[in-house]
Structure 1
Amino acid sequence: MARVLGIGEGLFVLAFIWVLCLILCIALTRAQGSISNLGPLAILLAGFLTVVLVFIPREPEVAAPDESVKIYDYSVIYRFGLISVISLFLIIGFVLYLTQYLMVPVLAKPIRRLRG
């Protein structure tokens, strides 16, 4: 099975269910009438689905060892280093842009009184 960072797709399904449940619960907090009871019902349903999906796994916990040859790409370290340096300078540049150009105080000029 495909794994992302060593985590199976079941955890992503559980995370999606809980995020959807929390969004539904937050959206229905101020609802009027019987529809406001769907929030706690969604939490109970997500809890039940979590228990079912945790206690009835489809695969063994320990994956079978792979006998294939793994080829590692060591240049990815340099790519991540370059991306992190570029991201750091992007954040620094954005902060400097905000402080130097967008947040410059504009002082009011006094209006001369007309005597008439």
Structure 2
Amino acid sequence: MAGAVLGVGAGVFILALLWVLVLLLCVLLCRASGLARFFVIFVFLAAVIITSVLLLFPRATEVPTPEVEIKIMDKFFIGRYVLLAFLSIFFLGSLFLVLIHHILEPIYAKPLRSD
């Protein structure tokens, strides 16, 4: 396996670098003022899209396929989809709570006059 470091390929490092940069950019944008603060959502969604593209469309293997057909069995199929459902619900709930916190923040009235 050419290019493997610590038993993993370059794709794992690319994904890790992507998410570290997204986390850094999100922290910087959260500290911004005005409308720029809400670009965190777009940065995060872009990172999710890039990650899913990189995971769903891997490049072809460098090793030629063997003559014997190999059946690959996914024994953790149901568990993987249960985990995906749990993480999706958690993400949507967290997004809902963040939007409530930022959008529905109370605006307190200022006193008309000070005595």
TM-score normalised by L of structure 1 = 0.49
Larger radius of gyration: 1
